[in-house]
Amino acid sequence: MPFKYADILRHPKNAAHRARIVELDALEGVCVAESTMMAQTQRRTRIALFDNIKGLLIILVVAGHMMQPIHNDNPTLSTTFDIIYLFHMPLFVFMSGLFAKSTYRNGSLNYDRIISFAVLGIAYQAALLAVSSKDITLASMLRFASAPWYLIAMAWWGLLTPLLSWMGARRGMICSLVASFLWGLVDMEGGFLALSRMFAFLPCFALGYYLTPARVERAANSSWPWLAVFFAAIIVAARVASPHAYEWFFPLVYGDNPYGPHVAMGVVRKIAALGSGALLSVACIKLVPRSTSWLTVLGRRTLQVYIVHRLVRGALTFQTPFYGAPVLLGPVAGSVIIVVASLALTALCATPLLEPLANGIVAFPWRKKASRLRASVTRIQEALWSNQSVEL
């Protein structure tokens, strides 16, 4: 029979043991409390890690967009721009997949979340066209060549989660890679419905979807990612040393360019783009801070920053002479101005005033509201029909 020290306590003849049992109970309580505190600390560390990654990435997104209008004319910004674009979107898409498990769970697809991303993407597209002084037409609304593409792609990837879940990790990753490489044969200019980028970055989303935060955290805390840091440093050093280091494959980094006439070479270029992006992404995960800080808070507000900053950048480009200033072309002065402006814009867009709005839109119960609206319309129609019947 297994020994249970609680049975001793119940025995009246074993009073001598009661003090020891109380001591053991107290010790057990302390151990449980310590275990609970350790688990809570680990959860906070894990959340801080991923929020810090997202916080760093959104800074890079803003910086990359702020550099874009002049990066070809400023060598320092050109180098920084190329390095950022190697990995910031693949890693962002990976993080989106990592936390997309709730989109499809227990056989139920979260249509509301998918609709939210689609609505946000369409509204973002219209606002960006307006700020950029471009005509808002059906054709322009369907061509997601700029920042809104990501929100539309999120809707597409959400729709694919049941299929990814059904296929499992091995088949799902193989099919995602095959679809991504095959889509390189398609020349779909203008970002129609964000399909090209959706397929291009599908393996990144699928990889995140199949992994768990705990597994990524264990990998980040292990030693093997230091090898990725080493190779990532070589890749970065190559671009610093030569402005032409990435030219042979860089067009495929954006995700919306086809292979061109030389398909075999196009496949090699795509492998180089994905491989370099993967190495820099792993290095970023390894090097990002684990502790809670302002970066953690920023990581929780990436959606609002992603939307608002590009509208501001569009206004600066098309409504002001900001990017026409000659000082911005200076390798030092221009770079400092753009970096400072990027950080200031990121902080401005991360205001807590916008957080409830952004989170509210993503969590908006579209289907429930639509059902209530249909019910209200039905009641109004029945009332009108009843009144007409009485008059007759």
In tens, the pLDDT along 304-338 reads 999 999 999 999 999 999 999 999 999 999 999 99
In tens, the pLDDT along 152-208 reads 999 999 999 999 999 999 999 999 999 999 999 999 878 999 999 999 999 999 999
In Å, how far from its chain's centre is CA 272?
22
Whole-model pTM: value is 0.85
Distance CA 171, CA 226 (A): 29
3-state secondary structure 211-260: CCHHHHHHHHHCCCHHHHHHHHHHHHHHHHHCCCCCCCCHHHHCCCCCCC
**Does the pLDDT at position 35 exceed 70?**
no
Distance CA 104, CA 111 (A): 9
pLDDT at 40: 43
Helices (H), the chain: 5-10, 18-67, 75-98, 111-131, 138-141, 149-183, 195-200, 202-210, 213-221, 225-241, 263-287, 294-299, 302-319, 333-349, 355-362, 366-391
Residue 89 and residue 201 in contact, taking contact as beta carbons nearer than 8 Å: yes
Residue 40 tokens, joined: 């809570």
Half-sphere exposure of 237 (CA within 13 A, CB side): 6
Residue 329 and residue 74 in contact, taking contact as beta carbons nearer than 8 Å: yes
In tens, the pLDDT along 235-255 reads 999 999 999 999 999 999 999
Q: Letter for the amino acid at 270?
A: K
